[in-house]
């Protein structure tokens, strides 16, 4: 119950924008006319659910209402809630269970600069620590000294070992060393940070693919998970980011960061509908503890809770 209340509170801006505005649009209505549907579509789109997904959801709701003998405006939100939950269930399922036949379980974390990637890695590491797992970090963003420094600060704070190298070092070589170190130290989890932008002429995706190849040569099942960190506040840009990374790297799940600070949290619905890439984690605050494994039922329940 405490977890639900926390999630409900952190989703306040998105809930006010989506559900709050819909309640206003429905208030006092005795019929479902075209003006109402246009308003509902506008609210969904402005909440970054996206045009395609918004139209799909409302078409489903309209179809369900037509099958009812006495359709009432107050039934709209109930049916919309069910349709959104179905979208998440269709693309549900986290890849992996943080275990592998030959430890460590390797997680490659990618995303553009500014998404909160390094902080999200620290949250992941703490979550696994809380579950009793031994975690090792790898700093493969060797193109930005600030990135290495930030990861080192988090590693010190969490009491974790960090494998890194000098600025400009080959990121794939750092990943190789980190995997060897994780095996030698019997780590359960190896989390690899990567660059989100390069200051050279090399293509970012080429560098990331090289890291994946080097890891796979050491263990053909690795990386076991490739997580894309997306800033929820960027809205529909998150779709294009995910498409780009997925095309080159085969993203297995998404960490949606900064969900508490935006009214555009509807992007999580669009991602699930359009990309069929599961959202595995959400960041709902600045503290290390502000991370949750994504639970569709809890998320939708908190989003539509207006008590």
Q: What is the pLDDT of residues 147-174, one digit of tens each?
A: 889 999 999 999 999 999 888 899 999 9
Backbone φ and ψ of 91, nearest 5°? -110, 20
Q: Are strands 291-293 and 279-283 parallel, antiparallel or unpaired?
A: antiparallel
Give every CB contact of residue 28 below 8 A, 6+ residues apart in sequence: none
Half-sphere exposure of 106 toward its Cβ, with a 13 Å CA cutoff?
25
CB atoms within 10 A of CB 59: 12
- Please say if the pLDDT value at position 191 is more than 80: yes
Residue 120, token pair as written in the block:
């999200």
- Please say if the pLDDT value at position 274 is more than 60: yes
pLDDT value, residue 143: 85
Check if 2-90 and 105-294 are the same fold. no
The residue-averaged pLDDT of 271-289 equals 90
The residue-averaged pLDDT of 27-52 equals 90
Half-sphere exposure of 183 toward its Cβ, with a 13 Å CA cutoff?
12
Give the integer Cα–Cα distance in Å for 20 and 270.
19
15 in Cβ contact with 4 (< 8 Å): no
257 in Cβ contact with 115 (< 8 Å): yes
Work out the pLDDT band at 9, boundaries 50, 70, 90: confident
Give every CB contact of residue 202 below 8 A, 6+ residues apart in sequence: none
Single out the residue of 73, 79, 88, 29 nearest to residue 58, CA to CA.
79
pTM of the predicted model as reported, rounded to 2 decimal places: 0.90
Single out the residue of 297, 298, 301 nearest to residue 89, CA to CA.
297
Query: How do the domains of the chain map onto residue ranges?
Result: 2-90, 105-294
Cβ-defined contacts of 293-300 (< 8 Å, 24+):
293/94, 294/256, 296/85, 296/88, 296/89, 296/92, 297/85, 298/3, 298/4, 298/7, 299/7, 299/11, 299/88, 299/268, 300/81, 300/84, 300/85, 300/88
Give the integer Cα–Cα distance in Å for 88 and 268.
9
Give the integer Cα–Cα distance in Å for 238 and 116.
13
The residue-averaged pLDDT of 46-59 equals 93
Work out the pLDDT band at 96, boundaries 50, 70, 90: very low
- Please say if the pLDDT value at position 121 is more than 70: yes
CB atoms within 10 A of CB 27: 9
* Matching residue, tokens 């989390």: 191
Give the integer Cα–Cα distance in Å for 256 and 279.
7
Give the integer Cα–Cα distance in Å for 307 and 303.
11
Domain 2-90, CATH: 1.20.120.140
Average pLDDT value over all residues in the chain: 89
- The yes or no reply on domain 105-294 and CATH 3.40.50.300 is yes
Give the integer Cα–Cα distance in Å for 75 and 23.
11
Give the integer Cα–Cα distance in Å for 211 and 205.
10
3 in Cβ contact with 285 (< 8 Å): no
CB atoms within 10 A of CB 163: 22
225 in Cβ contact with 252 (< 8 Å): yes
Half-sphere exposure of 164 toward its Cβ, with a 13 Å CA cutoff?
25
């Amino acid at each position: 119950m405490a977890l639900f209340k926390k999630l409900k509170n952190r989703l306040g801006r998105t809930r006010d924008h989506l559900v709050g505005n819909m309640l206003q649009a429905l208030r006092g209505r005795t019929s479902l006319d075209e003006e109402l549907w246009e308003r509902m579509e506008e609210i969904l789109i402005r909440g970054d659910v996206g045009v395609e997904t918004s139209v799909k959801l409302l078409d489903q709701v309209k179809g369900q209402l037509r099958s009812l003998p006495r359709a009432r405006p107050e039934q709209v939100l109930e049916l919309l809630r069910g349709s959104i939950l179905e979208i998440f269930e269709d693309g549900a399922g986290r890849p992996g269970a943080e275990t592998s036949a030959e430890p460590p379980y390797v997680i490659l974390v990618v995303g553009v600069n500014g998404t909160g990637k390094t902080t999200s890695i620290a949250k992941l590491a703490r979550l696994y620590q809380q579950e009793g797992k031994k975690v090792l970090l790898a700093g493969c963003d060797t193109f930005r000294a600030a990135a290495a420094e930030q990861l080192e600060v988090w590693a010190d704070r969490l009491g974790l070992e960090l494998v890194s190298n000098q600025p400009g070092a080959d990121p794939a070589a750092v990943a190789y060393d980190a995997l060897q170190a994780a095996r030698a130290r019997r780590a359960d989890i190896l989390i690899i940070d990567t660059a989100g932008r390069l200051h050279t002429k090399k293509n970012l995706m080429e560098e990331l693919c090289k890291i994946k190849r080097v890891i796979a040569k050491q263990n053909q099942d690795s990386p076991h998970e490739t997580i894309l960190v997306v800033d929820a506040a960027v809205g529909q840009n998150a779709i294009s980011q995910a498409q780009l990374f997925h095309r080159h790297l085969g993203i297995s799940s998404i960490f949606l960061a900064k969900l508490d600070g935006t009214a555009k949290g509807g992007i999580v619905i669009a991602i699930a509908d359009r990309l069929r890439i599961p959202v595995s984690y959400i960041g709902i605050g600045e503290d290390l503890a502000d991370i949750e494994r994504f639970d569709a039922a809890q998320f939708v329940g908190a989003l539509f809770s207006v008590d």
